[in-house]
Amino acid sequence: MSLRHELERLLGKFGQDSQRIEDSVLIGCSEQQEAWFALDLGLNSSSSINASLQKPEVEKELTGSFTELRKALYQLNVKDASLLSTAQALLRWHDTHQFCSRSGQPTKKNMAGSKRVCSSNQIIYYPQMAPVVITLVSDGTRCLLARQSFFPKGMYSALAGFCDIGESLEETVRREVAEEVGLEVERLHYSASQHWPFPNSSLMIACHATVKPGQTEIRLNLRELEAAAWFRHDEVAIALRRNNPYTQQQNGAFPFCLPPKFAIAHQLIKEWVEKPIRFTLPV
């Protein structure tokens, strides 16, 4: 039985119109050149007809269980996490772009789901991503890590911030670091980038930066961050190796830990731990 027939059978079983398959979006392709699609079952929408699809029934039929996206990403390998994050971001974009913002008329998805077109004026809408810079600031021997109040207890990460309209990445890095911890950075090295599904769809652009010699005093912006501190190389190296990072210790404290492997923040910190000197030399 083809996958399409299997999906039609399942939708039929749950009292859904097989026409819903047309809402699928293309999210990638296997090494054997099989196309991968994602379909929103709409289980969270209370008002729509999709609400009639009951989670327990679906879980039983597919012998699986629904998991919150963030938790699922922690459990999957990097490739599957990336696929899931693409699917979630693209399906959410379609869900929130059902109408043309100029005419108010419905928009229609193309077959692959790479765009939507307004039926009345032919305006084309493409999925959007917000650029975000994430910067690991170092002073030559230590790196600066910060935490927001909603992070898992004990977890610290690099500084992140959305690009404002009209800014270059370099300007965003300088502004964000100045706004959040009151420091001036001078050397920037691009590291890598990553699509990130939170809060909507972001393109995370990761870089290393250094502070001016001797200018390391942190002025914390408490509206944006809960804490920020300089960490020694050995402390960070130990935290990177920790297997069970988010578990409470016997004395009740949560150990200093870092973002999970699939997050670009983790890769950025790992890169600094492996080659701390490289990012402090003049370019």
Ligand X SMILES: NC(=O)C1=CN([C@@H]2O[C@H](COP(=O)(O)OP(=O)(O)OC[C@H]3O[C@@H](n4cnc5c(N)ncnc54)[C@H](O)[C@@H]3O)[C@@H](O)[C@H]2O)C=CC1
- The contact set with ligand X (CB under 6 A) reads 130, 132, 134, 157, 160-162, 194, 196, 198-199, 202, 204, 224, 259, 263-265
Which of the choices Mg ion, ligand X, none does residue 130 contact, using the CB cut-off of 5 to 8 A by kind? ligand X
Q: State the minimum distance, in angstroms, from the CB of residue 145 to ligand X.
A: 11
Taking the least distance from each CB to Mg ion, the nearer of 84 and 177 is: 177
| Chain-centre distance for alpha carbon 126 | 19
Helix %, strand %, coil % for the chain, to 5? 30, 25, 45
Distance of CA 242 to the CA centre of its chain: 22
Produce one character per residue of 8-31: b if its CB has 16 or more CB atoms within 10 Å, e if not: beebeeeebeeebeebbbbbeeee
Q: How far is the CB of 172 from ligand X (least distance, A)?
A: 9
Question: In angstroms, what is the minimal distance from the CB of 162 to ligand X?
Answer: 4
C-beta of 14 vs 198, nearer to ligand X: 198
- Nearer to ligand X by Cβ, of 123 and 129: the residue is 129
**Binder of residue 134, out of ligand X, Mg ion, none (CB less than 5 to 8 A by kind):** ligand X
Count of positions on this chain that bind Mg ion (CB under 5 A): 2
To Mg ion, the closest distance from the beta carbon of 180 in angstroms equals 6
Which of 138/202 has CB closer to ligand X?
202
Residue 24, contacted partner among ligand X, Mg ion, none, CB below 5-8 A by kind: none
| 161: contact with Mg ion by CB under 5 A | yes
Question: How is residue 131 written in tokens?
Answer: 């650029």
DSSP 43-82: TT-SSSGGGGS-HHHHHHHHT-----HHHHHHHS-HHHHH
Q: Which residues of 116-154 are buried (b: 16+ CB within 10 A; e: fewer)?
A: bebeeeeeebebeeeebbbbbbbbeebbbbbbeeebeeb
**What is the rounded end-to-end Cα distance, in angstroms, of the chain?**
58
- What's at 84, amino acid-wise? L
Determine the 3-state secondary structure of 177 from DSSP. helix
Out of Mg ion, ligand X, none, what residue 190 binds, judged by CB under 5 to 8 A for its kind, is none
Instruction: Kindly state the smallest distance separating residue 122's Cβ from ligand X, in Å.
Output: 27
Residue closer to ligand X by CB (options 73, 100) is 73
User: Is residue 146 a contact partner of residue 258, using CB atoms and an 8 Å limit?
Assistant: no
The minimum distance between CB 94 and Mg ion, in angstroms, equals 28
Structure tokens given for 77: 């390998």
The residue among 60 and 261 lying less far from ligand X, judged by its C-beta, is 261
Binding stretches for Mg ion (CB under 5 A): 160-161
